[in-house]
């Protein structure tokens, strides 16, 4: 991205907003068209208002015919223009937002392969999605009226200047104040408050999550009153912050309103021959009505300014969510590499920690996994089993030592080569709110129905799916709702089996299943993974696993144990 050079330390997230805008270049024409239409619609409205006043005011001046015709034309024109303006601006917004979503998805995906999304809670990601949605208002409520204001201010100045220079200066100053200065002031105030606000709402969310998730504990320990009081205290904090914000926004809005009223007052005074030199009444009337139209356009900007504070913060958070490293570094993985031969995995003298300030998870870790071997990696909780899975999947990189796949350094493999070679199944494997078919096809997009059924049968889920009214096209709710825990795990297994990856990494695949279901699940695994390397990461063995080798993780390294 060429805009990556803009420093992100700019004032109040302005540079973040600019970077988001730079993403919308592709839709520049549509967005510009929306702005042009909105300005034309505004001008038409202005002329409508002005001429209707002009016509009445100018009855004695014999302008009836011309203005009457104008009125009729513009009356219809204004309605039509407004309609098409709305369609154009909304369509442009949705196009730009669609792009933004895809861009954001790619960005999080890239960060994910660097280990970020892997460890991030789904809840945090949902909040980021809300931030993307907060960018809705950027174009419609800020950019479009601002563009209108840029046209309206000089237009009004020129018009008023024909009557009186002093009046023109006064009116233009007030217009600038309410179109640019007050909104930016509101933006600054809100941006400060909105940080406190998002902290308070996160606090409320955590308190509610604790209350809802801890219903058993709360009932068992009689803590209903205490917990409700805790939530209500958080809520009171949030509400008082919101109240303060609402009051400030209202005051800023009233400020903009007073600007408008003072401008009208100035014109009225001039019309009455006070303060300014008495101006020509017909021109004065025209200025008055033009002013009303201009403020109708600009009046919303103060509130939009308050919104801008939120938008800037949201833009900043969205940008912060991405990977730290530049994408070109990723491209530096040489694609010209000879493809890896075989799938033997070897770790040599690996040291690893998640963060510099955290203790080492591994030190001098060495282990080998032969091609086609069935291996269990055992260890108590906290011994680094998940970290090992992350290293093998290249979600995390070791600080020192070497991990090779088929003799090639894992770090040098390109993304596709790596991902097509490994398939991963864990209790956090996500089932998507989609059809069963779409969920399975994630494993192998070109699989035929027969292959899908075969995988389902292998995972012993075929009969369950056959019993569903829509079979493969049955819709799964969010998080795979509609299937029991064991069935959901089997569906994830079917997806894993469907992928033709020669290496299967199974990270506690049966956790949370009861003993019988777990044994059935593991014996299924024994039968259906013929020829592939199976790496089973678990805290205990049930006795039904068929294994070639067992590694035990302990004391930051691994030791071979009997098979």
Residues 322-381 that bind other proteins (CB under 8 A): 379-381
Q: To 10 degrees, what angle do helices 301-320 and 182-213 make?
A: 50
> Is 57 or 146 the residue whose CB approaches other proteins more closely?
57
> Is 15 or 383 the residue whose CB approaches other proteins more closely?
383
Minimum separation from the CB atom of position 449 to other proteins (A): 19
User: Is 340:417 a contact under the CB 8 Å cutoff?
Assistant: yes
- Map residue 435 onto helix, strand or coil: strand
> Is 375 or 501 the residue whose CB approaches other proteins more closely?
501
> Is 4 or 213 the residue whose CB approaches other proteins more closely?
213
Residues 416-455 that bind other proteins (CB under 8 A): 416, 418-420, 422-424, 428-434, 442-443, 445
Longest CA–CA separation in the chain, Å: 109
Residues 126-145 that bind other proteins (CB under 8 A): 126, 128-129
> Is 126 or 527 the residue whose CB approaches other proteins more closely?
126
Interaction between residue 118 and other proteins (CB under 8 A): yes
Chain centroid to CA 371: 40
Interaction between residue 79 and other proteins (CB under 8 A): yes
Interaction between residue 61 and other proteins (CB under 8 A): yes
CB neighbourhood size of 142 (10 A): 20
Interaction between residue 147 and other proteins (CB under 8 A): no
Minimum separation from the CB atom of position 10 to other proteins (A): 27
- What tokens does 534 get? 């199976």
- Work out which of 13, 34, 117, 148 binds other proteins, going by CB under 8 A: 117
Torsion sign across C-alpha atoms 333, 342, 443, 513: negative
> Is 254 or 400 the residue whose CB approaches other proteins more closely?
254
Q: What angle do CA 413, 415, 419 make, to 5 degrees?
A: 100
Interface mask toward other proteins for 481-520; x: CB under 8 A: --------------x---x-----------xxxxxxx---
**Count, residues near other proteins per rule CB under 8 A:** 144
Interaction between residue 55 and other proteins (CB under 8 A): yes
Cα 323 from Cα 395, distance rounded (Å): 12
Cα 325 from Cα 308, distance rounded (Å): 29
Cα 142 from Cα 133, distance rounded (Å): 15
Interaction between residue 101 and other proteins (CB under 8 A): yes
Interaction between residue 397 and other proteins (CB under 8 A): no
- Work out which of 91, 330, 368, 457 binds other proteins, going by CB under 8 A: 91
> Is 337 or 400 the residue whose CB approaches other proteins more closely?
337
β-bridge mates for residue 348, sequence order:
402
> Is 13 or 323 the residue whose CB approaches other proteins more closely?
323
**Phi and psi for 347 in degrees, rounded to 5?**
-110, 130
- Map residue 561 onto helix, strand or coil: strand
Q: Give me the sheet containing 362-369, strands edge to edge.
A: 362-369, 345-352, 400-405, 408-409
- Work out which of 288, 347, 525, 558 binds other proteins, going by CB under 8 A: 288
Residues 215-274 that bind other proteins (CB under 8 A): 215-224, 226-228, 231-232, 235, 239, 242-243, 246-247, 249-251, 253-254, 257-258, 261-262, 264-265, 268-269, 271-274
Cβ-based burial of 77 (10 A; exposed 0-12, middle 13-18, buried ≥19)? middle
**Phi and psi for 37 in degrees, rounded to 5?**
-60, -40
Cα 420 from Cα 503, distance rounded (Å): 9
> Is 14 or 417 the residue whose CB approaches other proteins more closely?
417
Cα 22 from Cα 182, distance rounded (Å): 26
Interaction between residue 36 and other proteins (CB under 8 A): no
> Is 161 or 414 the residue whose CB approaches other proteins more closely?
414
Q: How far is CA 359 from CA 355, 356, 382, 544, in A?
A: 8, 8, 12, 35
Residues 539-558 that bind other proteins (CB under 8 A): 539-540
């Amino acid at each position: 991205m060429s805009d990556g050079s803009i420093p992100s330390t700019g004032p109040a997230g302005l540079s973040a907003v600019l970077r988001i805008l730079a993403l919308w270049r592709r839709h520049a024409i549509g967005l510009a068209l929306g702005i042009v239409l909105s300005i034309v619609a505004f001008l038409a409205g202005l002329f409508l208002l002005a001429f209707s006043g002009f016509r009445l005011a100018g009855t004695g001046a014999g302008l009836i015919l011309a203005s009457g015709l104008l009125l009729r034309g513009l009356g219809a024109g204004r309605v039509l223009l407004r309609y098409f303006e709305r369609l154009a601006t909304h369509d442009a917004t949705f196009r730009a937002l669609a792009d933004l979503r895809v861009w954001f998805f790619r960005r999080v995906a890239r960060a994910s392969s660097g280990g970020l999304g892997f460890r991030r809670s789904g809840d945090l990601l949902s909040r980021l999605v809300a931030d993307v949605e907060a960018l809705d208002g950027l174009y419609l409520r800020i950019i479009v009226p601002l563009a209108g204001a840029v046209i309206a201010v000089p237009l009004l100045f020129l018009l008023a200047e024909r009557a009186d220079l002093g009046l023109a200066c006064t009116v233009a100053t007030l217009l600038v104040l309410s179109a640019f200065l007050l909104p930016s002031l509101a933006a600054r105030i809100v941006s400060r408050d909105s940080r406190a606000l998002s902290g308070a709402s996160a606090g409320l969310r955590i308190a509610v999550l604790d209350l809802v998730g801890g219903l058993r504990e709360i009932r068992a320990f009689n803590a209903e009153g205490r917990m409700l009081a805790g939530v209500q205290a958080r809520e009171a904090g949030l509400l008082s912050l919101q109240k303060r914000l609402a009051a400030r926004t209202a005051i800023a809005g009233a400020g903009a309103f007073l600007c408008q009223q003072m401008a009208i007052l100035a014109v009225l005074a001039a019309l009455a021959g006070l303060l300014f030199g008495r101006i020509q009444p017909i021109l004065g009337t025209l200025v008055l009505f033009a002013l009303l139209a201009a403020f109708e356009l600009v009046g919303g900007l103060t509130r939009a300014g308050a919104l801008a504070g939120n938008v800037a913060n949201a833009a900043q958070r969205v940008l912060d969510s991405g990977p730290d490293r530049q994408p070109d570094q990723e491209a530096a993985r040489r694609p010209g590499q000879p493809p890896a031969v075989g799938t033997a995995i070897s770790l040599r003298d690996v040291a690893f920690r998640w963060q510099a300030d955290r203790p080492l998870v591994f030190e001098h870790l060495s282990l080998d996994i032969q091609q086609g071997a069935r291996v269990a990696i055992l260890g108590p909780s906290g011994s680094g089993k998940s970290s090992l899975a992350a290293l093998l999947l290249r979600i995390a990189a070791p600080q020192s030592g070497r991990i090779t796949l088929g003799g090639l350094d894992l770090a040098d493999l390109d993304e596709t080569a790596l991902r097509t070679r490994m398939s991963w199944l864990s209790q956090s494997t996500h089932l998507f709110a989609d059809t069963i078919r779409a969920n399975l096809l994630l494993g192998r997009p070109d699989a035929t129905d027969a292959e899908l059924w075969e995988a389902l049968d292998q995972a012993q889920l075929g009969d369950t799916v056959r019993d569903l009214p829509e079979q493969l096209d049955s819709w799964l709710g969010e998080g795979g709702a509609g299937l029991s825990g064991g069935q959901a795990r089997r569906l994830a297994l079917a997806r894993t089996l469907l992928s033709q990856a020669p290496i299967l990494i199974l990270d506690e695949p049966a956790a949370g299943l009861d003993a019988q279901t777990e044994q059935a699940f593991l014996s299924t695994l024994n039968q259906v993974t013929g020829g592939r390397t199976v790496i089973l990461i678990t805290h205990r063995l049930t006795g039904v696993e068929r294994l070639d080798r067992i590694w035990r993780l302990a004391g930051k390294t691994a030791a071979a144990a009997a098979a």
